[in-house]
A = this chain, B = another copy of it.
Amino acid sequence: MTQRSANVIGLGLIGGSIAVGLRQRGWRVHGEDARDGTEQRAIEQGVVDRAGLDPDADITFVAVPVLSVVEQVERALTTTTGVVTDVGSVKTTVSEQIADPRFVGSHPMAGSELDGLDGADAEMFNGAVWVVTPTPVTDDVTLARVTGVLRELGAEVVALSPHHHDQVVAVVSHVPHLAAATLMRLAVDRAEEHAPLLRLAAGGFRDMTRIASGRPDIWLDICAENRTAIVAALDELIEGLASMRDTVASDDRDTLLRTLAGAREARTNLPGRVVHPEELVEVRIRIPDRAGAAAEVFTLAADLGVNIANFEVVHLAEGNRGVAVVLIDAASSDVFRGGLIARGFKPSITALS
Contacts and interface: CB of A to CB of B under 8 A. Distances in A.
A156 B242 CA distance: 36
Contact of A204 (B177, B197, B215): B177
Contacts of A215: 264
A200 interface: yes
Given A190-B171, A233-B186, A234-B245, A271 B176 contact: no
Interface stretch (A35-43, A44-52, A299-307, A313-321): A299-307
B202 A128 contact: yes
B267 A213 contact: yes
Nearest to A235: B245
A223 B172 contact: no
Given A181-B263, A204-B177, A216-B261, A198 B241 contact: no
A208 B262 CA distance: 16
A208 B206 contact: no
29 contacts: A109-B201, A109-B202, A111-B204, A172-B187, A172-B201, A172-B205, A173-B202, A176-B204, A176-B205, A176-B209, A180-B263, A181-B244, A181-B263, A183-B240, A186-B233, A188-B266, A195-B304, A196-B305, A198-B266, A204-B210, A207-B211, A208-B211, A212-B260, A216-B264, A219-B260, A220-B256, A220-B260, A224-B253, A227-B248
Interface of A: 109-111, 128-129, 131, 156, 158, 160, 164, 167-169, 171-173, 175-188, 190, 194-217, 219-220, 223-224, 227, 230-231, 233-238, 240-242, 244-245, 248-249, 251, 253, 256-257, 259-264, 266-268, 270-271, 302-305
